[in-house]
Amino acid sequence: MTAAEKISIKEYNYHLPEGKIALYPLKNRDNSKLLIYKGENIKQDVFSSLSNYLPEKSLLVFNNTKVINARIRFQKKSGSSIEIFCLEPAEEIAEYSTVMNQKRSAKWKCFIGGAAKWKEPFLEKELFIDKEKIILKVTLEEKLSDAYIVEFTWSPATYSFAEILESAGDIPLPPYIKRSTELDDLDRYQTIYAMHDGSVAAPTAGLHFTDKIFETLLKKHIQRANITLHVGAGTFKPVKAAQMRDHEMHTEWIDVTLATIQQLIDTDGLIVAIGTTSLRTIETLYWLGVKAILHPESEKLILCQWDVYSKELNDHSFSKKIALEALINWLAQRKLDRIFTQTQLLITPGYSFKIGKALVTNFHQPQSTLLLLVAAAIGEKWKEIYDYALENDFRFLSYGDGSLIFMAES
């Protein structure tokens, strides 16, 4: 058993009062507080001053996924309601855009609120797109251990599934934001650079960014790179196991272009991940490159939960450049211009970061895999940072304030 598997989640706990959880976002995105941790020193500022703390020619990596209206409520004739929460496509996919552009029908893995009340062959909902009436039906196909497979069908079938969700669903606010969705959430629970439909939770570190911030970054010759990781509901999954070996890390889809991988190779500056999803993605790219070196004949590269702690991968010490060039070569041999695959990367204390050297992130739930990732970046100092944030009235979780964390070797 590896050291990572032996980790007890109880060691990554702290008291988070309800009043510290931000239920609403600030009106101006970049007015959020910013905690800066570097060289064991802690200070605070406002997020609009982010560029002041980054060296010139840094490369910032953004997750440009877009949150979909994943919650759909169906009203039964009895008056009770059933909520379908779309998690991810249920069928084998080659890319997310194909799934979102499907017409007539779509099969998805979903949570179902009030499943015990669902006795009918199907549920039905009436909606309108461009004043045209659409009948949306959902059929329960299969019960899984932790979710359900459902099939959506709609008529007329001229609209895409993305358009159906846009009209029928609600933005899926996290469970700790204990209020109903409001109109402002449609804009504020989405980054200003969101492009690709697929997430059921926002990459929240990015919610602080504005055009004004991007202008200040550009003046310092700070570059941007885009990756896509479609955030799943598993990001909120609490760790209930006593040791991490008994916790199953959620799997998420990543989509990264060859051009972005080349950017990561070419940069000589500090690579800063904007959010834990961006950090997990660029670290995944490194390990996929290692797999491409060790198994160049593999037709599929994926990263499972404990892969990076295995002897096979850890027996080697490839540079960022060598690993990423191997990944590019693997893609070129298959005439691919992007890597689209799944990652289950669990980053725990003891993990050695290969690409990311700094992290912009919000403040996370106690006993969560996100907090483990922060602890992996800065060790036991995470406790001091969180104590400071609590004592200085920082706002926590998705709609809360942010931090800029420099890892020890940076």
User: Does a structural domain hold residue 226?
Assistant: yes
Residues 44 and 102 placed together within one structural domain of the fold: no
Residues 124 and 257 placed together within one structural domain of the fold: no
User: Does a structural domain hold residue 174?
Assistant: no
Residues 398 and 289 placed together within one structural domain of the fold: yes
Contact between 36 and 53 under an 8 Å Cβ cutoff? The reply is: yes
**Measured CA distances, 69 to 72, 84, 191 (Å):** 8, 11, 15
d(CA 253, CA 170): 22
**Measured CA distances, 168 to 95, 103, 129, 197, 365 (Å):** 23, 15, 9, 15, 30
**In the structure encoding, which two tokens stand for residue 27, read together?**
């009106």
Residues 116 and 214 placed together within one structural domain of the fold: no
Residues 59 and 74 placed together within one structural domain of the fold: no
Find, among 157, 156, 152, the residue nearest to 68 by Cα. 152
Of the chain, the end-to-end C-alpha distance in Å amounts to 30
User: How far is C-alpha 223 from the chain's CA centre?
Assistant: 21
d(CA 33, CA 48): 9
User: Does a structural domain hold residue 179?
Assistant: no
Residues 101 and 208 placed together within one structural domain of the fold: no
d(CA 402, CA 207): 10
User: Does a structural domain hold residue 177?
Assistant: no
Residues 389 and 306 placed together within one structural domain of the fold: yes
User: Does a structural domain hold residue 118?
Assistant: yes
Which tens digits make up the pLDDT trace of 96-126? 999 999 999 999 999 999 999 999 999 999 9
Residues 214 and 351 placed together within one structural domain of the fold: yes
Residues 119 and 204 placed together within one structural domain of the fold: no
Q: So what's the pLDDT on residue 118?
A: 93
Residues 367 and 314 placed together within one structural domain of the fold: yes
Whole-prediction pTM value?
0.95
> Domains in the chain: how many in total?
2
User: Does a structural domain hold residue 39?
Assistant: yes
Residue written as token pair 């602080």: 208
CB atoms within 10 A of CB 219: 10
Residues 118 and 95 placed together within one structural domain of the fold: yes
User: Does a structural domain hold residue 182?
Assistant: no
**Residues of the chain falling short of pLDDT 50:** 410
Residues 273 and 160 placed together within one structural domain of the fold: no
**In the structure encoding, which two tokens stand for residue 380, read together?**
């036991």
Q: So what's the pLDDT on residue 91?
A: 87
Q: So what's the pLDDT on residue 269?
A: 95
Structural domain span for residue 22: 3-66+189-406
User: How far is C-alpha 392 from the chain's CA centre?
Assistant: 27
Q: Above pLDDT 90, what percent of the chain? A: 91
CATH number of domain containing 60? 3.40.1780.10
Which tens digits make up the pLDDT trace of 375-410? 999 999 999 999 999 999 999 999 999 999 999 764
User: Does a structural domain hold residue 107?
Assistant: yes
